[in-house]
Structure 1
Amino acid sequence: MDVQFYGANCVVVNYKGTRVVIDDTLDELGAKSVLKPGDLALYSGPHGASKVEVKLVVDRPGEYEMGDVSVHGVAAQAHIDEKGTKAVTMFKVTAGDVNLLFTGNIYPNISEAQLEDIGKVDVLFVPVGGNGYTLDPIGALKVIKEVEPKMVVPLHYADPALNFPMPQQDLEVAVKELSMEVSQTVPKLKFKVGDFAEGMHLVVLEKAN
């Protein structure tokens, strides 16, 4: 499995010929979409119509499979929604016994029932840009402590190439507020279940070209 980051909350997972694209709303932010025909497109929140004929679009809770990849969507409260509403979806993507969780722009309060539904998480992809638009580092840290992953990858921080509705924090500032040391910075994540070291590690995934 390999994983690449394209800015905002957009991440692409490749596994045994299956390509899963999470939260590609890049064209709404002034950049080019990375979707390709045949992709499995996951959207944690509101999104526009795709200009590419993907194989499947998933934007709600439920169980889904494509190739050797399984997806479990869990309803959650959006960061800007009122308490009790569940307008967004967290996605757990499982490939080769590695469990990835993409929170999207959730409110930082995952319930015990949601945690039980999600189950084991190896890698947590969580936004940190804040400013009322998505999780800030304090909210992200709360989610990290709730989920207890083996690896944390920060998403959705300041990017001069993207036109966010609200300014986002710089990655360096967000990492400092997380009070976690970056264990490594990589252009692409490649791993299998046995690759995870003891403890919890913060890994910065460089933006792909």
Structure 2
Amino acid sequence: MSAYVRPDALVIALDGPAASGKGTLAKKIAGQFGLPHLDTGLLYRAVGCGVLDHGGDPGNVAAAIEVAAKLDLAALDEARLRGATMGEAASRVAAIPEVRVVLLDLQRRFAAQPGGAVLDGRDIGTVICPDAKVKIFVTATPEVRAERRFKELAGRGEAVTFEDVLADIERRDARDSSRTTAPLVAAADAHLLDTTTLDIDAAFRAALDIIGRR
């Protein structure tokens, strides 16, 4: 057992592509078990946002590292970070190996809390918490994920089209899966949860079944 995971702690790792439902599931699971929750995607969105706020390019390695090194979990503005622009910026900075190294310790310290934690992202079960007691890889077809993200963005008043959202989803899938450092991939011991035909309540029940069996 790694030092950052306590032997008696319940650490639950949820990984998956954009708009698969992992974030919503992670929040509900954390509430069910009374555990702290971290959406690690927000960290990369915050880094991308910080670079953009200073007029920089999210692909600029030095600028992204500087922002990542100063990141404060307590200062994350989730409402602002949920936009489509921040999602694209997050995917770009997440492909920078040095940024992932800077954020690695922050995520592992969160997971090391007494009792455990729930974390969702792209590399929780493979890199951040490979010794997590429960690993779930949440997925759905690109079209279903794009429809979910389109409704989310449109509901916030963003001027988007389904076609543009689907193209963005497919770009991010390709970038996340092909990066050399911590690519998006299911851990060998992760349980697959396909939410294509499931609403959130059904997906939550399925996740609880997985956790119960583990």
**Higher-strand-fraction structure:** 1
Q: Which structure has the larger Rg over C-alpha atoms? A: 2
Structure 2 length as normaliser, TM-score?
A: 0.32
**Higher-helix-fraction structure:** 2
Structure 1 length as normaliser, TM-score?
A: 0.32
More RCO (CA 8 Å, sep 6+): 2
